[in-house]
Structure 1
Amino acid sequence: MKSVLVYYPFALSENPNSGSKLRPLEMKNAFHAWGMENDVNIIMISGTTEQREQQFNDLVSSGKLEKLWFCYMENQTIPLWLTDPGHKPKRPFIDRKVLRYLKEKSVPVGVFYRDVYWKFDELYSLKGLKKTIMQAIYRKEEKFYEKYCDVIFLPSDAMGEYVDIAKRKIALPPGGKAKGISKKGRDDGRSRGIYVGGINNEDYGLFLLLDALELANSQKIICDLTVVCREEEFANLPDVKKNRFAELGVQVKHLSGEPLNELYKEMDYAFIPRYRSTYNDFSVPVKLVEYLSNELPVIATFCEAQKEIIEKDGYGLICADNAEDMSKAILSMAVNTEKFRHNIQQSFVEKHSWKARVKKVKSALLKEEL
């Protein structure tokens, strides 16, 4: 039986509450499902540096790493050497030990390199000497991957321009799931849109969306909007912004998990109204695939990576990051929802599931045709 190593130089989250915590769990589960279907043994190494060292030593001693097919690994938003509690590694050389072993055995290795926010001053909050030191460690991490990895997987092709690793780069956006959605009908003639996410950062574009909603509904109510956000974020909004929701008849809910999944069944389409920026051009919101997994067409701004996914297979509408253009998209979406939903049903899971991502990893690392 062939074996594949999935290597996470960090501890997996027991209660994932963000896309960054969910992705490694979803990929782990998808690898195990793919392995069961294809008679491939999936070997996991994850946890603190001490735990990884123990797991690695046990696997080497047992001979289970002798005939590996390939290895898939991921990094986090902090360098792999600093993922222990308190960012103080007890076994700082374990990752080099593992990767050196794989290189000596000629095992192809691919790493999902998830973010480069540290390269943007407006996004990286550290200042002064701490920032200089951390950026030096990040650059060292890039060189580490360049030395030991064969393929660099990225959230989007557009991000490759900002990753200084001289190896083959392949886009590996977040994956989705087939859910067998049963929509809950409503006969009042209005369409229902949903926004799920942060509301405390102008960059997210929620208040741009509210301005667009006001324009779209100026003659008659075209769209009923529901906003799902964290309760504390809404509580901390200035009164003038809170009043905006009431003025426009926007429902505000604080849901997650199964209650949110049930709410999705009542919705017709969803919004990603982020303002365009260099960073937003190459990042792919996990909410995009969550919406599409729930068969919700998407109205999104023209940030490059999300635009490519949505337009390629007709999963929704792209608009400029201004209220007038977004309001036109709302009017168009209200009468074309079923067309976009049909497109999602036809191809989304086949092309963009987590298992499809695993197959892409395998093909890339074994140099098969993608």
Structure 2
Amino acid sequence: MAPYGKRIAFHVPFRLGYAISGGGIRPGKMIAAFEELGYAVDVVSGDKANRMKGIDEIRQRLERGEEYAFCYAESSVLPTMLTEKGNKPFYPFVDFDFFRMLKKRGIKVGLFYRDIYWKFRYFMQDKPVYERWWRKFFYHLDFHYYTELLDVFFLPSMKLAYLLPENLKSRAFDLPAAHDMKEDVVRPAPKLREDLRFIYVGGVSNPVYNISPLIRMGEEFAVTVCTREGEWAQWKGFYGTLPKNVTVCHLHGDALKAAFKEHNVYAIVRTNHEYLNFAMPNKLYEAVGQNMPLLATGATSVGNFVAANDIGWVLDGDFSDFDPDRMITEFDAKVEHMQRIKAEHHWVMRARKVESLLS
């Protein structure tokens, strides 16, 4: 039997590791972080059958008198009731009944709400009205049960809190992504303009992820764009013939970490889009872990983070103020500032924040 307070429940209404980015990666990182803090982690995940199995095991432990410190959960990009095959509400109350059982036993439940994109105008614009209505109905139903059952509601950024119902705002806290680098990464400063090597990891779709300013930099500087293969196939025509110094790849995991070592500036390009203005991508924190200064666009959460911590350069949306000589001169200072904040943004620190709010 685990010592009192050193066992937690971990709930996600989807299969762990289902994707190679974002919501597919974060739960595994959080499980590892909680385990590093000394917790035994009982996971409820997968389809309905597997979630029921995990819930039954937790119920049996509780009936034997075992204690749980808290439950940490993460939402799906889909409404909770539509996560089964075919996106139909075949088993609507499995997950919320689980939270209700924990609440009745005095176990606090906190949930990380990974994405609130459905609140924005562009949500499912290419879908029929009835389909948008159907999806939004179940998102609102999620909020109804969150209000009833959650003790803490985590957001990627508190700038999104204005989109929440009033009765959830009071229990909302930010819980941005993190990195898992423990060793110190040596990041030598570029000495010449031609030594500057930029890497971008993310979407390329227009207008939400229009990286044209970065692509144009490939006329003079080495630029690597790492994106999903299918997305590039769909949008490469939009970018036309690429400049000679632009490389497109589709890396992830250890291969992507290896690519980081071959570059010295991480670019996060954001168009003036109301949703992306709030987004704090996972790769931002990976760059922090890699001691890689950032090139970001202004008037966004990313740009504000970079400027506030002095860990890179914030440019206009069209990169008209791009100054490579300044980047070379200031590079070592940016790396030094990044090393100062690195420990604050490790996955273990993220797990500690959850622990402090739920224990």
Q: Which residue of 2 is the match for residue 103 of structure 1?
A: 103
- SS of the equivalent of 1:138 reads helix
Q: Which residue of 1 is the match for residue 91 of structure 2?
A: 91
Distance 1:259 1:292, change over 3 A: same
Point out the more displaced range, 226-235 or 158-167: 226-235
Distance 1:138 1:347, change over 3 A: same
- SS of the equivalent of 2:303 reads helix
In the alignment, the residues of structure 1 paired with residue 143 and residue 237 of structure 2 have an alpha-carbon distance, to the nearest angstrom, of: 45
Deviation of the 1:357 alpha carbon: 0.5
> What are the within-5 Å matches in structure 2 for residues 7-22 of structure 1?
7-13=11-17, 16-22=19-25
Deviation of the 1:321 alpha carbon: 1.3
Q: Is the 8 A contact 1:53 1:91 kept in 2?
A: no
Deviation of the 1:22 alpha carbon: 0.8
In the alignment, the residues of structure 2 paired with residue 110 and residue 199 of structure 1 have an alpha-carbon distance, to the nearest angstrom, of: 33
Deviation of the 1:165 alpha carbon: 5.6
Deviation of the 1:148 alpha carbon: 0.2
Point out the more displaced range, 260-269 or 227-236: 227-236
Distance 1:123 1:301, change over 3 A: farther
- Per-residue CA deviations over 1:309-349 (Å, capped at 9, x if unaligned) read 32332221222212313x24x4432321211111222221x
Distance 1:256 1:56, change over 3 A: closer
Q: Which residue of 1 is the match for residue 119 of structure 2?
A: 119
Q: Which residue of 2 is the match for residue 135 of structure 1?
A: 136
- Per-residue CA deviations over 1:52-74 (Å, capped at 9, x if unaligned) read 22222232223367522211111
Q: Is the 8 A contact 1:193 1:270 kept in 2?
A: yes
In the alignment, the residues of structure 1 paired with residue 90 and residue 236 of structure 2 have an alpha-carbon distance, to the nearest angstrom, of: 45
In the alignment, the residues of structure 1 paired with residue 237 and residue 130 of structure 2 have an alpha-carbon distance, to the nearest angstrom, of: 38
In the alignment, the residues of structure 1 paired with residue 193 and residue 236 of structure 2 have an alpha-carbon distance, to the nearest angstrom, of: 33
Residues matched between the structures, number: 349
Q: Which residue of 1 is the match for residue 162 of structure 2?
A: 161
Deviation of the 1:130 alpha carbon: 1.4
In the alignment, the residues of structure 2 paired with residue 24 and residue 161 of structure 1 have an alpha-carbon distance, to the nearest angstrom, of: 25
In the alignment, the residues of structure 2 paired with residue 185 and residue 357 of structure 1 have an alpha-carbon distance, to the nearest angstrom, of: 30
> What are the within-5 Å matches in structure 2 for residues 41-52 of structure 1?
41-52=40-51
- Per-residue CA deviations over 1:108-133 (Å, capped at 9, x if unaligned) read 11110111111122133433111112
Q: Which residue of 1 is the match for residue 177 of structure 2?
A: 174
Q: 1:5 and 2:9 equivalent? A: yes
In the alignment, the residues of structure 1 paired with residue 229 and residue 109 of structure 2 have an alpha-carbon distance, to the nearest angstrom, of: 42
1:259 maps to which of 252, 255, 262? 255
1:292 maps to which of 280, 284, 288? 288
Q: Which residue of 2 is the match for residue 353 of structure 1?
A: 346
Q: TM-score under structure 2 normalisation? A: 0.88
Structure 2 alignment gaps of length 5 or more: none
Q: Which residue of 2 is the match for residue 228 of structure 1?
A: 226
- Per-residue CA deviations over 1:140-186 (Å, capped at 9, x if unaligned) read 11111011001110000101111226231111011112153245887
Q: Is the 8 A contact 2:185 2:291 kept in 1?
A: yes
Q: Is the 8 A contact 2:192 2:328 kept in 1?
A: no
Q: 1:333 and 2:334 equivalent? A: no
Q: Is the 8 A contact 2:208 2:276 kept in 1?
A: no
In the alignment, the residues of structure 2 paired with residue 256 and residue 41 of structure 1 have an alpha-carbon distance, to the nearest angstrom, of: 29
Point out the more displaced range, 51-60 or 223-232: 223-232
Q: Is the 8 A contact 1:111 1:152 kept in 2?
A: yes
Partner amino acid, structure 2, of 1:354:
W
Deviation of the 1:256 alpha carbon: 2.8
Point out the more displaced range, 116-125 or 181-190: 181-190
Point out the more displaced range, 146-155 or 20-29: 20-29
Structure 1 alignment gaps of length 5 or more: none
Distance 1:240 1:175, change over 3 A: closer
Distance 1:297 1:104, change over 3 A: same
Point out the more displaced range, 175-184 or 107-116: 175-184
Structure with the larger helix share: 1
Q: TM-score under structure 1 normalisation? A: 0.86
- SS of the equivalent of 2:71 reads strand
Q: Which residue of 2 is the match for residue 203 of structure 1?
A: 208
In the alignment, the residues of structure 1 paired with residue 159 and residue 97 of structure 2 have an alpha-carbon distance, to the nearest angstrom, of: 32
- SS of the equivalent of 1:243 reads coil
